[in-house]
């Protein structure tokens, strides 16, 4: 069997297990991917996915919080978790001989957490500080405002951290009801990469998660991109994000959109970096992004600039984006393709990235994509398709978020007019 062979097993209760052995490595990453995130929360549950992620490390029937930390760190390992819009991931990286320990801890915290009242109150305080820190950081705050404006009044646009009022009110009853609704075996994927053996992972996971029931499907309202504008006067620099509706994970233009985003703002040789920073000195940092979700996406540009330069920086940015839909060059596309290949294929050389990659692909596509599939999809992109994807991205109503002095920042209607006029040239 090839050292790169991916193996998948689905247990009777619906739990999926996917592993990717990696040749020549002596460490391994084990993860549990849960198909629930902030998007799945009702308004009264806002922040509950993130709160549960924090509470998972605060004690089980077998281990208190210190014992959990000591168990993994005494083996030289690392244990962590992250909550996103559409999923939550718990993961541990350890030496090969400690894979069983890592999976045992993950199983323990996901099936036997006790949610002690005192621990909950302490962790609420920690999360409230985390929320306050985001409010004090313009780089983070501007993206929270951007998401909220892009998907106005919808869970997909809400902060992952939650609202202070909601966080303060969470209790064990709310947690256990949420776990019962979303943490069923059929909504979990156990992934492992590095120095791992599939059969051993399957055997242990079967024992750890055998009593987990299946969840009934939970409906999520389709995302409705609205576009819009949000401003907040805070700080001395002007931080802005301008974006448009993008493509979902499985859209036929998804790869082309990623390449377009990389070409226009993915590095120091990109158009935006050259036009905005190098030629005009209007910003220290500027970059584009392209995010995909289950049924929608977001494409945009982020930068921070001196307040007096904000207007010009935005005009140059919009003109560069529109021009790229018509005159993106073969050289620019080739460079972006190479960057995308490196980014995607680097996961094959890192056990944490690989464990995350195979879980996400299983969740999105129902299977793990091969290295050849990924490369072939990138190589098949033509200049015409990449330009067309860029043009499609810029057709939606724009979203603007700005933090800091914003008198020089144009209105969202002016941005729409500018991008339209530039695209017609």
Alpha-carbon gap, residue 296 to 204, rounded angstroms: 37
Best CA proximity match to 17, nearest among 188, 157, 158: 188
Nearest Cα to 289, choosing from 143, 131, 422, 161?
Answer: 143
26, two tokens: 């002596």
DSSP-based three-state secondary structure for 85: coil
DSSP E strands, 84-161 = 88-95
Residues with a catalytic annotation lie at 53
Reading the block at residue 204, the tokens are 């242990």
Query: Strand, coil or helix: what is 24?
Result: coil
Q: Measuring CA to CA, which residue among 313, 257, 298 is closest to residue 149?
A: 298
For 45, residues 6+ apart whose C-beta sits below 8 A from its C-beta are 166, 174, 178
CA–CA dist 23, 37 (Å, integer): 33
- Distance (Å, rounded) from C-alpha 300 to C-alpha 195? 38
Q: Furthest-apart CA pair in the chain: how many Å? A: 67
């Amino acid at each position: 069997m090839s050292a790169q062979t991916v193996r998948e097993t689905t247990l009777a209760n619906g739990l999926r297990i996917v592993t990717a052995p990696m040749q020549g490595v002596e460490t391994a990453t084990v993860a549990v991917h849960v198909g629930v995130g902030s998007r799945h929360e009702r308004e009264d549950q806002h922040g509950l996915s993130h709160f549960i992620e924090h509470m998972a490390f605060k004690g089980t029937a077998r281990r208190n919080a210190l014992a959990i930390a000591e168990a993994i760190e005494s083996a030289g390992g690392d244990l962590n978790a992250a909550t996103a819009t559409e999923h939550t991931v718990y993961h541990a990286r350890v030496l090969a001989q400690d894979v069983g320990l890592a999976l045992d801890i993950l199983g323990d915290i996901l099936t036997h957490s006790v949610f002690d009242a005192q621990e909950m109150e302490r962790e609420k305080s920690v999360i409230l500080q985390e929320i306050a820190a985001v409010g004090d950081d313009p780089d983070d705050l501007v993206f929270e405002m951007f998401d909220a404006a892009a998907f106005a009044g919808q869970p997909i646009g809400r902060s992952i951290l939650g609202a202070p009022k909601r966080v303060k009110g969470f209790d064990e009853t709310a947690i256990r009801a949420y776990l019962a609704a979303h943490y069923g075996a059929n909504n979990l994927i156990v992934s492992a990469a590095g120095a791992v053996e599939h059969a051993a992972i399957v055997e242990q996971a079967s024992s750890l998660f055998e009593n987990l029931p299946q969840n009934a499907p939970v409906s999520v309202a389709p995302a409705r991109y609205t576009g819009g504008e949000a401003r907040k006067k805070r700080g001395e620099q002007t931080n802005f994000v301008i974006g448009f509706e993008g493509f979902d994970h499985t859209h036929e233009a998804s790869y082309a959109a990623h390449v377009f985003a990389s070409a226009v703002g993915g590095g120091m040789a990109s158009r935006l970096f050259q036009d905005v920073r190098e030629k005009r000195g209007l910003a220290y940092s500027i970059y584009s992004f392209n995010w995909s979700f289950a049924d929608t996406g977001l494409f945009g540009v982020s930068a921070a600039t001196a307040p007096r330069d904000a207007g010009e920086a935005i005009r140059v940015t919009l003109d560069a984006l529109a021009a790229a839909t018509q005159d993106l060059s073969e050289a620019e596309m080739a460079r972006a393709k190479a960057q995308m290949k490196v980014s995607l294929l680097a996961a094959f050389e890192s056990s944490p990235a690989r464990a995350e990659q195979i879980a996400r692909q299983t969740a999105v596509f129902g299977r793990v994509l091969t290295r050849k599939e990924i490369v072939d999809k990138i190589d098949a992109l033509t200049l015409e398709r990449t330009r067309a994807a860029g043009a499609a991205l810029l057709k939606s109503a724009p979203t603007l978020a700005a933090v800091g002095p914003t008198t020089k920042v144009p209105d969202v209607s002016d941005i729409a007019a500018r991008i339209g006029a530039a695209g017609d040239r």
